[in-house]
Amino acid sequence: MLEQNPQIVPPSLDEPELRADLVAIDTLRTILVRLSRLAERADDSDYALGSDVCPRRWKATAC
């Protein structure tokens, strides 16, 4: 996109640094997606284990 529309980048910005930042943010987003999935699985496991440990009659009071 930058090659096709160089006018969208202000001259005060360093283009190589901008490209490096774009690569870095793409990498970070990939990591964040994986971490989010891992956190969801951990939450699911926590819920499942809590359900196994805490009998239904106790849920309203103790657990």
User: pLDDT tens across 25-57, in order?
Assistant: 999 999 999 999 999 999 999 888 887 777 666
pLDDT band with cut points at 50, 70 and 90 for residue 60: low
Q: Is the dihedral of CA 45, 50, 52, 56 positive or negative?
A: negative
| Cα(60)–Cα(4) distance, integer angstroms | 62
Tell me, rounded to whole angstroms, the distance of Cα 52 from its chain centroid.
Answer: 29
Cβ–Cβ < 8 Å for 17, 25: no
DSSP 57: G
Structure tokens at 32: 């964040």
pLDDT band with cut points at 50, 70 and 90 for residue 10: confident
Amino acid at position 52, single letter: D
- Which pLDDT does position 59 carry in this prediction? 57
Structure tokens at 24: 């870095």
- Which pLDDT does position 9 carry in this prediction? 77
pTM: 0.60
